Amino acid sequence: MRNYGQWILLWIISAILLSSPAVGAFKYLTAGMNYPKIDNIEKNLAKSESRKVLVIAFWATWSERSIQQLDDLSKFYETYRDSGLEVIAINVEGEGVSDEKADSISKFFAGHNYPFPLVIDSNLEIFYTFGVIAVPSSALIDSSGVIRYAPAGYSLTSKDRLFDSLLVLMGFKEIESAEHLMIDRYKPDKRALRYYNLGLRLYQNGLTQMALSNLHKSTSLDTLFSSPLSLIGTIWSEDGEYDSAMVYLRNAIALDSLNVGALSALATSLWLSGDTSQAKVVIMSTLAIDSLFTPARLLNAQIMISEGQLTDALELLENCE
Mind listing the pLDDT tens digit for each residue in 254-277? 988 878 888 888 999 998 899 999
- Give the model's pLDDT for residue 24: 58
Q: Does residue 1 belong to any structural domain of this protein?
A: no
Q: Does residue 53 belong to any structural domain of this protein?
A: yes
- Count Cα neighbours of 145 within 13 Å in the Cβ-side half-sphere: 10
Instruction: Going from the first residue of the chain to its last (321 residues), give the mean pLDDT of each consecutive group of 10, the final group possibly shorter.
Output: 46 42 62 80 80 93 92 95 93 89 95 95 88 86 86 80 88 69 68 90 89 96 92 91 94 86 88 90 85 77 82 68 52
DSSP string covering 230-245, please? HHHHHHHHHTT-HHHH
Same structural domain, 200 and 136: no
- Domains in the chain: how many in total? 2
Same structural domain, 18 and 93: no
Query: CA 27 to CA 1: how far, in whole Å?
Result: 30
Q: Does residue 57 belong to any structural domain of this protein?
A: yes
Same structural domain, 45 and 101: yes
pLDDT digits (tens, 9 = 90+) for 127-166: 988 888 788 889 999 888 888 888 877 877 778 888 988 9
Say which residues have a Cβ less than 8 Å from residue 58's Cβ, sequence separation at least 6: 25, 90, 92, 127, 130, 132, 135, 136, 137, 138
Q: Does residue 198 belong to any structural domain of this protein?
A: yes
Q: Does residue 27 belong to any structural domain of this protein?
A: no
| Opening angle at CA 210, ends 206 and 216, nearest 5 | 120
Instruction: Check which CATH number belongs to the domain holding 17 and give it.
Output: 1.25.40.10
Query: CA 21 to CA 32: how far, in whole Å?
Result: 12
- Give the model's pLDDT for residue 270: 92
Same structural domain, 131 and 53: yes
* Beta-sheet pairing, 53-59 with 85-91: parallel
What residue type is assigned to position 197 of the chain?
Answer: N
Instruction: Check which CATH number belongs to the domain holding 94 and give it.
Output: 3.40.30.10
Same structural domain, 176 and 196: no
Q: Exposed/middle/buried for 152, CB within 10 Å: 0-12, 13-18, 19+?
A: buried
Given 163, 181, 199, which residue is the final one in a domain? Answer: 181
Q: What is the pTM (predicted TM-score) of this model?
A: 0.69
Same structural domain, 46 and 168: yes
Same structural domain, 172 and 51: yes
Same structural domain, 145 and 80: yes
- Give the model's pLDDT for residue 27: 72
Say which residues have a Cβ less than 8 Å from residue 154's Cβ, sequence separation at least 6: 65, 66, 68, 69, 136, 162, 321
Report cis status (omega within 30 of 0) of the bond before 136: yes
- Give the model's pLDDT for residue 14: 43
| Opening angle at CA 195, ends 194 and 200, nearest 5 | 100
- Give the model's pLDDT for residue 25: 66
Task: Look up the domain containing 288 and give its range.
Answer: 11-22+187-318
